[in-house]
Chains A and B, each alone.
Chain A
Amino acid sequence: MQNNKKQFLTGHEVVVQAALDAGAESMFGYPITPTCEILSGWFESGKKCLQTEDEIAAGFGVCGAVLAGEKSFTASSGPGHILLQDSFSMAEAMRLPVVLIVGQRGGPSSGTVIYSQQEVILACFGGNGEGMRLVYSPSNLSELYLLTRRAFNEAWKYRYPAIVLTDGYTLKIRQNVDFDQFKKIENIPPISLIPENKIVHWPNIYTAEEELNIVLENTKNDFENIAKEIVSFESKEIEDAEILLIAHGIVGAVTKIAVEELRKQNIKVGLFRPITLRPFPKQELDKICGWKKIKKIVVVESSFGQLARIVRDQLAPEIDASFDYLQKPGLGIEPEEVIEFVKNIKI
């Protein structure tokens, strides 16, 4: 694949290209729509690949490869994503740089094979843990490439598992992608977590509550310390905004179009689009919402409020803007719908 001009690619192809460019050596996966073509695309690349018996084995296979010092990843969706949280919780506990590409599909259960934003809570807080993982939400194919590269790099640099949380639309869409802008990204090399020249005894279960507590405190402190290096977001038209729209992923891109259109109609509306959902750009959002001008926060998403839960949880309690929600679980949202919704808001 050429890297020096625009290409006409699907999201699946973008993920495969990004993982190759990130230095990934292997993938373990189980076919599930809408992520099958990442698995078949990786097979085509000629790199090491194993189609496992289920997503449990795929996730633990990645854990094993990562322990041996190899950049490895898996991709899944919906019910498969649920099973992957088993291995992901081990990765969270042992701080294994496992990378998972999630193509959200409709839920709960088998739902649809097409699209949703309903795996946000699962991606951010799945498992019996504390959400100590990196979660990225790309809004288009260029960002899908960029954030997949970042997921590998930041997972290995900071030693946290990472999820690129995308969706069935973004993966299935075929679009022009310009790779020129990404030429300068350097790869963080992998490290051998089980070294070959010394002996490691690595526990993952503790006898006493205090032992575990110390580990968790350390993990959390590290997470908070690195957060400022990782958090990213996009904001638009926030300086004099009275209504702040918050949306992520492809809905974030749609909302941006709506903001541009609403501004043309002199409606004072701005956008906050978190690019990292874990760690969440909390301080930045607090700062924007803390401005007296913001009177209303509208969370727009293709779920019944999964992003809204995170926003409300993260927002400083003294901020008194009221909330409104545009929610279409399992359905795409068009710019016109956002525009219509905002125009009907009474401040």
Chain B
Amino acid sequence: MQIKILLSGDGGQGIQTIAEVISRAAFEKGLTVSFIPNYGLEQRGGVSLAFIKIGDQEIVYPKFSNPDILLIMSDQSRQRVLEYISKSKKIIDIKDYNFYLQEKKINSKNYNIFFLGFLTKMLEKEKIYLAEEIFLALEKKLSSKPNWEENKKAFALGLSFNF
């Protein structure tokens, strides 16, 4: 078993944060994980990518060109991952959810956590792990930070999104 996830967004959107939560949860579960961040020279505003591989066997090479799941969180990052789009099995593109995000009044600061919830649901379906396991890793990382309540709400909304 191995699943390849590519997360993409703008620097500052929290791509690396949710990548860390996903891969940390997999590690805690005893799975084999590799996570490699990839971003440009800008500290802010550039495209931020995270390549994650989760499985039950040794992972040799951290990158890939054919993600099982591709998350696109901004227009800029959509351009950057153009060559991956045709090779991806499942694509979650923010442009398809803008209406929902606005309807539920989710603050743009919490978009990453909404999509984390969304991803969690997909990973649960793939039988990679349970929602609680990811939530635990998320709680560990963010519960002491401001906006925890909003993040919790965003996670729940992502998790319960009917796709």
Binding site for B on A (CB under 8 A): 8, 113-114, 139-140, 169, 172-176, 250, 253-254, 256-257, 332, 334-336
Chain A residues contacting B65 (CB-CB under 8 Å) are: 334, 336
Within 8 A of A (CB), among B27-41: 27, 32-38, 41
Q: What number of A-B contacts does a CB cutoff of 8 Å give?
A: 50
Cβ contact within 8 Å between A175 and B60: no
Is B13 in the interface zone, CB < 8 Å from A? no
A317 CA to B62 CA, complexed, in Å: 37
- Give the residue of A139, A169, A257, A335 whose beta carbon is less than 8 angstroms from that of B36: A169
> Max chain B CB contacts within 10 Å: which of A172, A173, A257, A336?
A173
- Give the residue of A114, A172, A174, A332 whose beta carbon is less than 8 angstroms from that of B61: A332
Q: What would 23 A/B residue contacts be, using CB atoms closer than 8 Å?
A: A8-B24, A113-B41, A114-B38, A139-B60, A169-B62, A172-B36, A172-B38, A173-B36, A174-B20, A174-B36, A175-B32, A175-B33, A175-B59, A176-B33, A253-B60, A254-B60, A257-B61, A332-B61, A334-B61, A334-B63, A334-B64, A335-B60, A335-B61
**How far apart are B47's CB and chain A's nearest CB, in angstroms?**
13
Binding site for A on B (CB under 8 A): 20, 23-24, 27, 32-38, 41, 59-65
Additional pairs, 19, CB under 8 Å, beyond known A169-B36, A175-B32, A332-B63: A8-B23, A8-B33, A113-B41, A114-B38, A140-B60, A172-B36, A173-B34, A173-B36, A174-B20, A174-B34, A174-B36, A175-B33, A175-B35, A176-B33, A253-B60, A253-B61, A334-B63, A334-B65, A336-B65
Q: Is the interface of A mostly helix, strand, loop or mixed?
A: mixed
A169 CA to B63 CA, complexed, in Å: 9
Cβ contact within 8 Å between B27 and A8: yes
Cβ contact within 8 Å between B34 and A256: no
> Chain A: which residue is nearest B40 at the CB level?
A113
A254 CA to B38 CA, complexed, in Å: 19
Chain A residues contacting B33 (CB-CB under 8 Å) are: 8, 174-176
> Max chain A CB contacts within 10 Å: which of B33, B36, B62?
B36
A127 CA to B63 CA, complexed, in Å: 33
Chain B residues contacting A172 (CB-CB under 8 Å) are: 36-38
Cβ contact within 8 Å between B32 and A176: yes
**How far apart are A213's CB and chain B's nearest CB, in angstroms?**
46
> Chain B: which residue is nearest A174 at the CB level?
B35
Chain B residues contacting A336 (CB-CB under 8 Å) are: 65
> Chain B: which residue is nearest A9 at the CB level?
B27
Cβ contact within 8 Å between B23 and A256: no
A336 CA to B60 CA, complexed, in Å: 13
**How far apart are B88's CB and chain A's nearest CB, in angstroms?**
15
> Chain B: which residue is nearest A140 at the CB level?
B60
> Chain B: which residue is nearest A332 at the CB level?
B63
Chain A residues contacting B35 (CB-CB under 8 Å) are: 173-175
